[in-house]
Chains A and B, each alone.
Chain A
């Protein structure tokens, strides 16, 4: 297992953000973490990254406890979020150079250029990051996230700022890279069609609790709906229904 989350609990001043969440992710799997705003997705991801301390429960990544082996674990994973940026006043290649240093990437320049080419932004290598469009910035952030050849990638709404054409290209590219390199991906998005297309398995969260889990098609069938979007709406509008027609998935 790449990720093993067991009975994870996080409370902030008496409010439960993540409620006894357990799940696993296998090598080479793309796992979608879904739910409305405030469902606990970001908190769960930040606990896996070790920047939020859980109230209770355990997180093991690559078989090691994040609480005691954070540096070793972070060396082998990477992260990209639509809500985080790279320094705007540094050039594209300078940003990649800095992060190559932070992740100890040897011979970083050809690797960085290859990634820029893959994401079709190699012509921007000497441009200041602040001069990039939001779509180009997102792609640069994904280059940064792949620079250390991670075994685990945490992607928080990675295509949020992309137009449909680029978003489609990026999804296909991510899927290709993920298959070729056998990367495990933990993926959050509010775009349910994207999730259906990209994820092997999904977990629905609501009020920090796991409401459903399984391959997208199975989850859609279990809820007697036509699409993940309909499942999403049903879960959000009736957060307590998990006990009525199905148990929370294991």
Chain B
């Protein structure tokens, strides 16, 4: 791992934002729109439900914020790769002395930056508009966010591998894959709502523990650390598996000559 090359790659992705207001707006546009919809829905439910809807309903705002952080972490890996595909710059990167590890590390670092910026903006907006304080989650907030980032990176690696293997036809996966796990991650409802046969699948996802854990903190004020450890343990498995998958696909791509095609099309 060469820090200078990682910094250069990170710079390449960050400079895109320095040059373009539309890209900066794009970072905030969808999360803010989601926050407005979920925030006003929460306000409405609290208003009409009065005694029937518990105050706990505010977890919808927390769920939305945490979901966005997971999504951003995945997007930072996939969109960085796609930026180079779209710019026909992919070959320039991969014929430079850059290792796959350095490339992925740079996209992970970009994810950290995006998650931090997004998290701060959304938390501030949620507090200002709905008096929802994400810091209610206390010290569990940091490990929960970390856990979501790890899962986002794992999903990002799998997505990039699939795009490398199947080319432009698979680009839609960059946006689609996170939504494949969303219903099973129990983002906006507890796992118990899912059909019994689906619940083991949900509990096999690291993100489920984060969202369940968040609801527990908001309901009881107690930090469910076992949820975090489960989430972390599963993330180690998922990251390792996605790394192995990525390396395997990269070998296949080199054998089939697909990287050159993707880089020149």
Contact = CB atoms under 8 A, between A and B. Distances in A.
A81 B254 CA distance: 19
Interface in A61-93: 70-72, 74-75, 78-79, 81, 83-91
A83 B88 contact: yes
Interface residues of A, number: 39
A90 B8 contact: no
A168 interface: no
Nearest to B20: A89
Given A51-B91, A74-B95, A84 B16 contact: no
Contact of B255 (A43, A53, A75, A85): A53
Nearest to B251: A53
B98 interface: yes
B89 A91 contact: no
A104 B6 CA distance: 11
B92 A84 contact: yes
A233 interface: no
Interface string B223-265: 0000000000000000000000000000100111101100110
Contacts of A99: 8, 92, 96
B19 A91 contact: yes
B171 to A, nearest CB: 18
Nearest to B6: A101
Nearest to A13: B256
Given A89-B16, A89-B20, A12 B256 contact: yes
B1 to A, nearest CB: 11
Contact of A74 (B9, B84, B96, B255): B96
Which one of A43, A88, A89, A94 has the highest number of Cβ atoms from chain B below 10 Å of its Cβ?
A: A89
Nearest to A75: B97
Interface in A152-187: none
A51 B2 contact: no
Contact of A86 (B89, B96, B257): B89
28 contacts: A42-B260, A46-B260, A50-B95, A51-B260, A53-B251, A74-B95, A74-B97, A78-B95, A81-B264, A83-B264, A84-B88, A84-B91, A85-B88, A87-B89, A90-B15, A90-B19, A94-B15, A97-B8, A98-B9, A99-B92, A101-B5, A101-B9, A101-B11, A102-B5, A102-B8, A102-B9, A102-B96, A104-B97
